[in-house]
Amino acid sequence: MVESISSFTMEDSLFAEAVKAYREAKHPVSITGAGISVESGIPDFRSPGGLWSVFDPQEYATIDAFIDTPEKAWKLYRAIAEKLREAKPNPAHEALARLEAAGHLAAIVTQNIDNLHQDAGSKSVIEVHGDHGHLQCLKCNTVEPAEESQWFAEKPAACGKCGSIMKPNVVLFGEGVRRMAEIQKHLELCDALLVVGTSAQVHPVASFPALVKARGGQVYEFNIEETALTHGGSGLFGIFSGFSTGPITDYFLKGSASESLDAFASAVIGK
């Protein structure tokens, strides 16, 4: 496992080294997961008390479950809508927007559906799992903005074009992820990857750090706890490459992203 950094000041030599290396990157990219939005009041999925401990994903979050029992699945999307209602970006989302504005971040690939990166002012945001702000017709594929009242209705809304049932415009288990061609281009150029608030268990995003590492890029992980990326061993890189290896993470910044990423961005930007 890599040594963790838990003091986010330039007096900490490992933090200073991470900042210095990141400043030299030519095409830095970030991948984000539910953990970055926890301090905006949105629970993550896999932490104790997370959404998957309340809603079994097999029963609520697969495309087959949605087709078979849409009214049941709707309970999950209503619960998410309740959390998103009041949610505002926190200093971690703002830190990524500041890095981009200062020329130190080319793109964010987010697994989140909460729009908080855009709300924080980030421009280059790739939503690989879709977004919760729209509905998508199961039949004709029309995508329409979701009205708040639609989330709080008992039944999923009907499509304005064909009358069929609408699902949230989010990628359910069993569906393909979005925008992979664009992501691929960023990954080919990426020489520094900020991995923020993801348990790195869901593919394809979970395999991006290993891809960047294999090309010689540096991986910076921001999380409150270690993941398979931090541990290495028979983790993701093993699956990806067929070999067991050491950790994928080069720098592990341990703590809440709202603190660690905020401090990191300030140090990189120099203010």
Positions in 108-137 near Zn ion (CB under 5 A): 137
Instruction: Please tell me whether residue 108 adopts helix, strand or coil conformation.
Output: strand
Question: Residue 153 or residue 162: which is nearer to Zn ion going by CB?
Answer: 162
Minimum CB separation from ligand APR for residue 50, in Å? Answer: 5
Cα–Cα distance for residue pair 126/26, rounded to 1 Å: 19
Cα–Cα distance for residue pair 221/198, rounded to 1 Å: 9
Among residues 158, 180, 202, 239, the one that binds ligand APR under rule CB under 6 A: 202
Minimum CB separation from Zn ion for residue 68, in Å? Answer: 19
- Number of residues counted as binding Zn ion (CB under 5 A): 8
- The CA–CA distances, whole Å, from 254 to 4, 8, 61, 249 equal 6, 10, 30, 12
User: Does 265 help bind ligand APR (rule: CB under 6 A)?
Assistant: no
Positions in 5-44 near ligand APR (CB under 6 A): 33-35, 38-39, 44
Q: How many residues does the chain have?
A: 271
Instruction: Please tell me whether residue 225 adopts helix, strand or coil conformation.
Output: coil
- Number of residues counted as binding ligand APR (CB under 6 A): 24
Question: Residue 58 or residue 147: which is nearer to ligand APR going by CB?
Answer: 58
Cα–Cα distance for residue pair 231/3, rounded to 1 Å: 10
The one-letter amino acid code at 120 reads A
How many other CB atoms are there within 10 angstroms of residue 43's CB atom? 17
User: Does 224 help bind Zn ion (rule: CB under 5 A)?
Assistant: no
Pairing of strands 130-137, 143-145: antiparallel
User: Does 160 help bind Zn ion (rule: CB under 5 A)?
Assistant: no
User: Does 122 help bind ligand APR (rule: CB under 6 A)?
Assistant: no
User: Does 169 help bind ligand APR (rule: CB under 6 A)?
Assistant: no
Angle at 104 between CA 99 and CA 106, to 5 degrees: 100
The one catalytic residue in 129, 132, 134, 203 is 129
User: Does 225 help bind ligand APR (rule: CB under 6 A)?
Assistant: yes
Is residue 129 flagged as an active site residue?
A: yes
245 CB burial (10 A radius; 0-12, 13-18, 19+) = middle
Q: Position of tokens 């960023």?
A: 186
Cα distance from N-terminal residue to C-terminal residue, the chain? 31
User: Does 153 help bind Zn ion (rule: CB under 5 A)?
Assistant: no
Q: Pick from ligand APR, Zn ion, none: which does 225 bind, CB < 5 to 8 A by kind?
A: ligand APR
Minimum CB separation from ligand APR for residue 264, in Å? Answer: 12
Positions touching ligand APR (CB under 6 A) are 33-35, 38-39, 44-47, 50, 111, 129, 197-199, 201-202, 222-225, 227, 256-257
Q: Which residues are known catalytic residues?
A: 129
> Which residues of the chain form contacts with Zn ion (CB under 5 A)?
137, 139-140, 142, 159, 161-162, 164
